[in-house]
Structures are given as structure tokens and as C-alpha cells.
Amino acid sequence: MDRQRTTPADKIRCDACPVMCYIAEGKIGACDRYANRDGRIIRCDPLTVLDRRIEQGGEIRPFLKSDWDGGLVAGDDLFVTAVGSGTTYPDYKPAPFIVSREIDGVDFVTVVTEAIFSYCGVKVKIDTDRHIGREGAVVRAQGEAVGLMITSEYGSQMMSLGGVDHLTGGSKPEGRVTCDTLMRLCNREAVALEVDGGATVVVQAGQAPVVDGHREERMRVGCGSATIGMFAVQWQGLVDEVVVVDDHITGVVSEHQAGKVLGWPDTGIRIKGRRSTPGRYFQVAEPGLGWGGTDITDPLTILGDWNPKKGAHPGLTLLMVSTTGEQWGYYVLDDALVPRPADLPDALKPSVDLIAENCEPAMCTVMFMGGAGGSLRSGVTKNPVQLTRSVQALKTQVTVGGARAYVWPGGGITLMADVTQMPDDAFGYVPTPAIVAPLEFTLRRDDYRALGGHDGAVRTLDDVLETGGAYGADSRAVARKRS
């Protein structure tokens, strides 16, 4: 489609995505990314160039020869990202920018395009000891299903959000909300998510999660058993018994292998729960927002009757603590072998503080994940499967907005990248709905020729900075600090 051809209403049809909006003069398309300026379709956002030489973002130079002194730039200092580049759609044409630059005497090519992803989502890692939701529970945004809870990891709970089924396989509101949620998360905005049968959590990449209105400060130091292993020696000789309460594995020092190695005497304690190995108990309570990710507020509820035949006696001291050190209690057995609250001795305070000190700050991590296949590879090469093979052979490096991507083994180009390593507002959308993500492929020039690349469309970095691209030469390139 000729971008300059107008309709009777003096509108221009944009061919940058499947929606193919008709855009009037001075207006923008449905994606907020392309506009009609003076009878031309232009990209609204600037092309982003990562620059290792600057400490803060700022304009590097306009795409205007008259404002540029013509000085050469070092190819290994500047990296042209796909942010603001434009798209290959409808994918029979070369990528918007195919940039040649010399690094250490070797000619490299970087192919950049804003790729349209229907097969994409995010994996969210939430550092918290609080229970957010059971594995498999539906995660919602604005009431619409956008993903699910997946396996808990050590000190973190995980979500898988998005995917083609939510974007295109459900209702229109589900697809729209899913797309909006993914874009906001990838652009490091705060998003409120509700888990069926669980908590409401505010997620923002690089920030602490807020669970049911409570801002998390730290992730667990380890499970209850691991905490016993790490700190048993700190408690020896200062207290008769220690219980570390944990939703997954509650630890008891006198029974635990660490305690046995240290010669810890039996105390006659009894724990309600399923005993695993000595000193390790599962299912002492239901999951929740209380001690150690359980639903309890009083840790004594997980204790049974004490056994005097196995060491229980009046005056026995007990420390109960959570896996983050946020909750703790100190008790002394009375004449009836009932634990009674008491003040924490000064000698034990450093051990509780040590648990807290060893907890890392709670943070949300958002990993963009997508399948970079289909026809977008045609923007790189006339023979798309050769790009896939080059990526799998590690000849081609894949980045997302300049952030190095992890490419999964197996078929296709399935990638993940940390959104905190990308420039601001790196992601967009099209109303089909789908996510628009910046994608770059970098490889040696000779390897690019070998895989059937669009070698005739290759341009130097200096030419790109001087003359711009297909969506206007009066746009500006913005330089940002390279991570």
C-alpha cells in the first residue's frame, strides 16, 4: 500500500499493522504509535540508540544532516535498538533498519524491528513469603482472566500472564485487558492483579510487591529447615528449642540434623503437621498471609502437648520465628508444660536480627516472553528458517530493546528478557490485540549474507543517524545509557 495515497476524506491508510487505520491529518492511529503529519505516516516515538558513553538519557542528534557535524561514531559505543524503529509488517519487506557497524575490526549487522506478538506473555516473579494464591489459580486484571499462578520457587511466587489464548482466544474484553496488562507490566508500570481464592497484589517491575495493601519488605531467608541449618549454631546454649514456622517446611532444631550434629538435647516438643524427615514438617497450617506464609497469627496453634518423657520440663525455653524474621515469639513452659509468653532475652535478639539481615529485599521481576517466529523473520532474510538455525547455532544474538534475551532450546525462537534492562516505554500494542516489542538480531556481516539476508538494505550507523528511516527523516534519535 502506498503510504501517500489518500482517501476522498483526505485520510492516509497506515500499513504498519493488520488494523490498517485511516488516519486524518494531525491525528494518530489506534495504536498511538503512528500519525499523519503533512500527508505522511510517521512513527510518533523516536528511534532509541543505546550509548555506553552517557550517564543519563538525552538527544544524541537529529536525523538531519544540517544539524550533524558529520563526525564518525564508534560502532561499539552505540547500539540501535528497535524502540521507535517501525515494523516489518506486512513482513514481505526488509526490517526498518538493518545497520552495519564495525566492532574490533569485524563488520557486524544489527537488524531491528518492532515485532507484533500474539504469541507472547510475561513471567512474573514475586518475592514474598505471603501466600498469593494456589498453583493453577486464575489471575485477573479488571475482572478479566489474564493468566494463572504457577509453581512457587524458593522465596518467590510465580505468575504466567498473557499468551495467545487470552489475547485472541477469549472475549474481546479479555483480549483487550490482557494486552493492556502486558504492555503496562512490560513498560514497568504498576498493575493490580487479583488471584481467584487468593490475594490482590500490585506488581511493578523492579519494585516491591504490595499484597492485600501490605508492602513487602523482604523475601524469606530460606524454608524453615534451611533456616535451622544456617542459624542453629547461633542459638546453641541460648535457648532450649527453636521452631521456624514455614508454610512449606517448618523446622525444629532439636530434631533437625543440624541440631543432632551439635548435640542438641531432646525437648519433647510435638508439632501438628505431616512429618517428613527429622525436624522437618509439612502442612503445619493452611497457606495465608500470616507467619511464614501460613494463615496463623498465633504460632502456638501448631504445637501439640509436650512430652515430659522426652525432655519437656517446667522452665524450658522456646523461640518461635518466621522465615523472614518479621514475626517472633519467646516462651517459657510453666509447671503444666504450657508455653507462656516472655520477653525475648537480649542474647537472642541478634539471632533474630540475623535472619532479617540475610533476607534479600522483596521485588517484582517481569520477564517478557515471546515466540519470535512467523513472518517477522522475513524482515531479516528471504529464507526465514535460516535465521532460526543461526539463532540456535549461537551465530545470531537476540536482544529485546537492547537487553540480552535468553533463547529457549528446541524449535523456533522462543525468548525471554528482563524488562528492567530496556529503555522506558519500549513496548506498544496494536488493537488486534497484540503486543509490539522491540527486537534486534545481531550477527557478522558474512554470516548475514550466508543466511540470505537483505544485504542490499544494509546501511551504516552514520547513515542511519544522518537520514533516518522510512517513517520520516525529521524524527530524532534519542540516546540512552546502555546497561
Q: What residues does each domain of the chain span?
A: 11-43, 49-118+372-406+433-481, 224-357
- How much is the pTM? 0.86
Q: What is the pLDDT of residue 478?
A: 66
Residue-wise pLDDT tens for the chain (483 aa)?
344 444 546 788 877 777 788 888 888 887 777 788 877 777 777 777 777 655 544 545 444 444 444 443 444 567 888 888 888 777 678 888 899 988 888 899 999 998 999 999 999 999 998 899 999 999 999 999 999 999 999 889 999 999 999 999 999 999 999 999 999 999 999 999 999 999 999 999 999 999 999 999 999 999 999 999 999 999 999 999 999 999 999 999 999 999 999 999 999 999 999 999 999 999 999 999 899 999 999 999 999 999 999 999 999 999 999 999 999 999 999 999 999 999 999 999 999 999 999 999 999 999 999 998 877 898 999 999 999 999 999 999 999 999 999 999 999 999 999 999 999 999 999 988 999 999 999 999 999 999 999 999 999 888 887 777 776 555 566 666 655
C-alpha cell belonging to residue 201: 497484589
Torsion 439-445-447-452 (CA) sign: positive
pLDDT at 5: 46
Backbone dihedral angles phi then psi of residue 200, each to the nearest 5 degrees: -100, 130
Pairing status of strand 22-24 against strand 11-13: antiparallel
Written as nine digits, the cell of 114 is 518492532
Show the cell assigned to 13: 491508510
Residue written as grid cell 504457577: 150
User: 389-404 burial, b if ≥16 CB within 10 A, otherwise e?
Assistant: ebbeeeebbbbbbbbe
